[in-house]
Amino acid sequence: MAKLSDKEILELAKLAELELTSEELQKIPGELNSILDYVAILDKVDVKNLEPTYQVTGLNNVQRDDLKIDYKLNKEIMMSDLPDKAEDQIKVKRMIA
């Protein structure tokens, strides 16, 4: 399978909304490529007539009664965990620079 170029690594980091330090930029490309090389052993497996597995319990589209559930969330703690707030609202940076 294809080797990831440094340019593709940067593109991938961008897609994942990550910035890499210069040290990580040195190390990560080689590491990602060796992991991708390893998982390429799956190329050999014959998967004809198989369906993909998305769950292992047999539970599919689990539904419940349309009733209010008490998640017992502590609002005060949630507010105190906010990095930035204005009164009781979440405050974020401007969208457009």
Partner 1 sequence: MKKWPLITTIANDVNNSKTTAVELVEESLRLIDQNQEYGAIISVLKDKALERAKFIDSEIKSGKNMGRLAGVPFIAKDNILTIGSETTAASNILKGFIAPYQSTAIEKLESEGAICVAKANLDAFGHGGSTENSDFMVTKNPYDKTRVAGGSSGGSAASVVLGLAPFALGTDTGGSIRQPASFTGCIGLKPSYGLVSRSGVIAMASSTDVVGPLTANVSDCALVLDVIAGKDPLDSTTIDRQSGSYEDIDDNIKGRKIGLIKEYLSDSLDEEIKQAINKTTLKLKSAGAEIIEVSIPSLDYALAVYYILCSAELSSNLSRYDGQRFGYSDKTAVNLSESYFKSRAKGFGTEAKRRIMIGTYVLSSGYYDAYYRKAQLVRTKIIQDFHEVFKQVDFLIGPVTPTTAFKIGEKSDPLSMYLSDIMTVGVSLAGIPAISIPMERENGLPIGLQLMTKQRKDKELLGLARKVEELI
The span from the CA of 20 to the CA of 33, in Å, is 16
Q: Determine, following the binding rule CB under 8 A, whether residue 32 of this chain makes contact with partner 1.
A: yes
User: What does DSSP assign to residue 49?
Assistant: T
Q: To the nearest whole angstrom, how small is the minimum distance from the Cβ of residue 25 to partner 1?
A: 11
CB of 92 to partner 1, least distance (A): 5
Q: For residue 5, give the nearest of 40, 41, 33 by alpha carbon.
A: 33
Instruction: Give, in degrees to the nearest 5, the angle at Cα 82 between 78 and 83.
Output: 160
Contact status: 13 vs partner 1 (CB under 8 A): yes
CB of 86 to partner 1, least distance (A): 13
Q: Which two tokens stand for residue 67?
A: 């009733």
24 sits near partner 1 (criterion: CB under 8 A): yes
C-beta of 46: minimal distance to partner 1 in Å?
9
Q: Which residue has the tokens 């209010």?
A: 68
Question: Which residue lies nearer to partner 1 by CB, 51 or 88?
Answer: 51
User: Is 81 an interacting residue with respect to partner 1 (CB under 8 A)?
Assistant: yes
